[in-house]
């Protein structure tokens, strides 16, 4: 009898649901943080005495399939100009979907982390006793920052953070990789974190003494969906699952921060946040 | 906290241990039985990494000649009698928002650095950062390793326990 995945044995338990914090000043940045999402997962392998579970790996895979990430700056007066920074559209971010794996874990492996100490994967061994239950855990705590002040090059004036919106949507999948390297995506759930707020500096110094921060309630939340059986078929990210990603979401996000789409105006101008 | 409770004699012994930090990489001040007669001559490289009272908090003191330190600090996990590197973005940053140095961090003889405390995360290890995937590395036994700018000298600190995430404060 060959080793196989016990039907319907995949289980995920969400042990901590994420919450978002109100944006807060951190040095010269506005930080967007929250509490972590945590989950456990288990899958049972079947086999006969003498079979080897070597080469079988259970673990979490995570893709990010939506990123909203823009911020708007205004000078002290209308003639000091305004700036719109768009990070989440091409060319700053060429694609919405990416393979989310921790720094130090190769995205080409698809798993969220292949580093054993992280506990995100569990591997079978040669002397396993069947049925073999493999258990794993999952942790994520996404965050981001933007500068408090940007200099408007058209006016040579400091422009102050006035509004921002961030939305990160993920799908987390409990998967098994068999000895042939084929992935079996068994159970998944969607989750997301949103931050949106308006800001007004308490002084027009650089950096400002502080900011009055008004959270936009409709744009500030953290949500976790229900469990979905079977291989994900969502066309918005299924391509990631069927490929060998070369970049992680952390790398994609770092690049969009380094080279965002930047639009400057000599006056206080409204920008269409949907555009690049 | 334990570091501050030491007597001067204990401190001197601890200092001596770090004279050859590369050779004694796995030895912590707190547990070392190694005895030395005196503090190192000032011309010898001697940087001490001390844990502070809260897990993840540490300070760096230069007891040797002026030195330049690497900005990045390595976090190591103790597992199966070995220390292995973890991937984090931990640095010698002393205040969130501080501009990273162009090259390295100068530390004069006798000077101390108190970096922002490590929060146990792989990304945004000290200050908020751009992170999508992010893992909390505890619980477990860890230590910090500070390096000279050229990487030739490694200065491991003593081991400390990181609690589970829900107990980290």
- Cα separation, A101 vs A270, whole angstroms: 36
Helices (H), chain B: 8-17
In this prediction the pTM is 0.89
Per-residue DSSP letter, B41: P
Quote the longest CA-to-CA distance of chain A.
79
Per-residue DSSP letter, A88: S
Is the pLDDT confidence value at A4 over 60?
Answer: yes
The answer to whether the Cβ–Cβ distance between B130 and A113 falls below 8 Å is no
Q: Which two tokens stand for residue A60?
A: 């979490």
The answer to whether the Cβ–Cβ distance between A26 and B97 falls below 8 Å is yes
For A55-85, the pLDDT digits (tens) are 999 999 999 999 999 999 999 999 999 999 9
Mutate to test the interface with A, among B74, B99, B128, B162 (most CBs of A within 10 A): B128
Comparing CB atoms, the residue among B97, B121, B131 nearest residue A27 is B97
Q: Which two tokens stand for residue A243?
A: 């490929």
- Cα separation, B116 vs B136, whole angstroms: 17
CB within 8 Å of chain B, chain A residues 82-121? 98, 100-104, 112-113, 115, 117-118, 120
Chain B nearest-CA residue for A258: B130
ipTM, two decimals, is: 0.95
Task: Report CA B7 to chain centroid distance, whole Å.
Answer: 21
Give A146's Cβ-side CA count (13 Å radius). 29
Is the pLDDT confidence value at B18 over 50?
Answer: no
Q: Which two tokens stand for residue B51?
A: 């844990």
Is the pLDDT confidence value at B76 over 60?
Answer: yes
- Cα separation, B97 vs B95, whole angstroms: 6
Query: How far is residue A210 from each of residues A27, A28, A160, A161, B93, measured CA to CA in Å?
Result: 11, 10, 11, 11, 22
CB within 8 Å of chain B, chain A residues 45-84? 62, 64
Give B68's pLDDT tier (boundaries 50, 70, 90). very high
Is the pLDDT confidence value at A86 over 80?
Answer: yes
- Per-domain boundaries in chain B: 2-167
Comparing CB atoms, the residue among B98, B129, B135 nearest residue A102 is B135
Q: Which two tokens stand for residue B2?
A: 């334990």
Q: What is the mean pLDDT of chain B?
A: 82
Q: What are phi and psi of A96, to 5 degrees?
A: -70, -45
């Amino acid at each position: 009898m060959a080793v196989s995945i016990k039907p319907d044995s995949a289980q995920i338990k969400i042990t901590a649901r994420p919450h978002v914090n109100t944006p807060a000043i951190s040095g010269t940045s506005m930080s967007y943080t929250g509490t972590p999402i945590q989950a456990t997962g288990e899958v049972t392998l079947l086999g006969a005495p003498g079979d080897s579970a070597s080469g079988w790996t259970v673990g979490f895979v995570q893709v990010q399939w939506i990123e909203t990430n823009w911020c708007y700056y205004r000078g002290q007066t209308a003639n000091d100009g305004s700036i719109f920074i768009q990070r989440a559209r091409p060319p700053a971010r060429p694609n919405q979907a990416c393979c989310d794996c921790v720094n130090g874990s190769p995205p080409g492996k698809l798993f969220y982390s292949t580093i054993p100490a992280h506990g995100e994967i569990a591997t079978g061994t040669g002397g396993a006793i069947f049925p073999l239950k493999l258990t794993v855990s999952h942790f994520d705590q996404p965050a981001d920052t933007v500068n408090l002040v940007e200099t408007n090059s058209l006016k040579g004036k400091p422009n102050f953070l006035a509004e921002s919106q961030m939305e990160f949507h993920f799908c987390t999948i409990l998967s098994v990789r068999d000895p042939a390297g084929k992935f079996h995506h068994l159970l998944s759930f969607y989750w997301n974190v949103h931050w949106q707020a308006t800001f007004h500096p308490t002084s027009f110094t650089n950096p400002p003494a502080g900011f009055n921060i008004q959270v936009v309630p409709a744009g500030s939340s953290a949500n976790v969906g229900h469990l979905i059986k079977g291989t994900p078929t969502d066309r918005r990210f299924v391509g990631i699952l069927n490929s060998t990603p070369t970049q992680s979401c952390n790398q994609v996000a770092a690049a969009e921060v380094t080279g965002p789409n930047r639009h400057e105006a000599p006056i206080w101008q409204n920008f269409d946040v949907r555009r690049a | 906290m334990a570091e501050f409770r030491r007597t001067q004699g204990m401190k001197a012994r601890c200092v001596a241990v770090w004279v050859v930090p590369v050779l004694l990489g796995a030895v912590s001040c707190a547990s070392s039985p190694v005895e030395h007669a005196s503090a190192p001559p000032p011309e010898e490289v001697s940087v001490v990494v001390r844990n502070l009272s809260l897990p993840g908090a540490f300070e760096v003191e230069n007891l040797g000649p002026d030195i330049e330190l690497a900005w990045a600090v390595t976090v190591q996990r103790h597992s199966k009698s070995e220390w292995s590197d973890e991937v984090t973005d931990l640095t010698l940053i002393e205040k969130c928002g501080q501009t990273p140095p162009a090259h390295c961090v100068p530390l004069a003889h006798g000077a101390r650095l108190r970096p922002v405390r490590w929060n146990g995360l792989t990304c945004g290890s000290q200050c908020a950062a751009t992170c999508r995937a992010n893992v909390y590395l505890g619980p477990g036994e860890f230590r910090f390793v500070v390096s000279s700018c050229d990487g030739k000298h490694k200065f491991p600190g003593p081991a400390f326990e990181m609690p589970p995430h829900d107990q980290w404060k």
